[in-house]
Each structure stands twice: as structure tokens, then as C-alpha cells.
Amino acid sequence: MAFLAADDLWHPEKLSRQISRFQTRPDLDLCVTYVKNFWIPELKEEAERFRDHRISQPLPGYVPQTLLARRALFETVGHFNIALRHADSTDWFLRVIEHGAVIDILPDALVYRRIHQSNLSRRMASASRQEYVELVKTTLDRRRRHMAACLESSLSVKKDN
């Protein structure tokens, strides 16, 4: 499965490079690429202000636009949580990691994210921050429950021996 937001761009070879990676690594569950932000001409001053900032450099792209994944992975860990407006993909990637999926990242920027006045992250920044805080708490709670269950199971096994 692959995704592309309407305002972003893929490098012409993105999918073929990722498919090649899957062909050479049959154990692979998902492959992502780097992503590079670019600003629309109307935001030229903002682009200049961030010219030397890390958000202007290619970054590892744990976002849907860079993703190519086996359908079976979605069947195992579930889909994006549509109740989340901002952190849906972060939540999904966290669940994938907790599941132990085999992940590979191509070292090239093969996705270009368009920065414009209407980006959801720009328009709803405060709501976005709150949602990410709640996601961190939910993830930590889930991990604590898992660790407690593992500990309880381990103690039960020791007790029986």
C-alpha cells in the first residue's frame, strides 16, 4: 500500500526503488524514504528563514507519503486511526514498531512535502500538539500494560517451577 497527499510530490522512481527493495528483502514489511520540504513561492521569506534549519534538510520520512507497505501489515496492526486528525500516522508507525515489523529506509529524498498556508499542521498547531501529548500517554500506557503482563507471566512461570 502506498499513499500520496494531494499537495505533495513523489520522485518518479520512488515506487520502483521501494519495490526493488522488497524484491531483494522478502522479510521486509515496510519501506520508507527520506522526505524534503519545499515552500510555495508565496512563502519565500519563510523558506529563506528556515534555509539552514533541519526542516529544510532531507529527513527520515515516517509519514504515509514515503510509505510502501505490505497489505498484510495493515491487516496485522490495523489501519490509521481516523479519530486522530494529526497523529494518525505517528500512532500507526508506533504500533508497527511495537509489533516488531521489519522496516527499511531508503537514504534518498524521494518525497517532497509542499509547505503552504493551508497545511493542516500550520492551521491547527495547538490542537496538533495536544493530540501528540495524548498519543505519547496512550503509547506509554499500552507499553506499561504489556510490560506488566510480561512480568506477571514471568513470575507465574517461576512460581510454577
Q: Would you kindly state where each structural domain of the chain is located, as residue ranges?
A: 9-119
The grid coordinates of residue 118 equal 493551508
Question: What are the tens digits of pLDDT across the range 27-45?
Answer: 999 999 999 999 999 999 9
Q: Find how far residue 10's CA is from the centre of its chain.
A: 16
- Domain 9-119, CATH 3.90.550.10 — does that match? yes
For residue 64, the model assigns a pLDDT of 94
| pTM (2 d.p.) | 0.80
Residue 106's nearest CA partner among 8, 42, 38, 14 is 14
d(CA 44, CA 49): 9
**Largest distance between two CA atoms of the chain:** 70
Range scoring the smallest mean pLDDT among 24-28, 108-112, 132-136: 132-136
Residues listed for the chain: 161
Question: What are the tens digits of pLDDT across the range 83-122?
Answer: 888 889 999 999 999 999 999 999 999 999 998 887 766 6
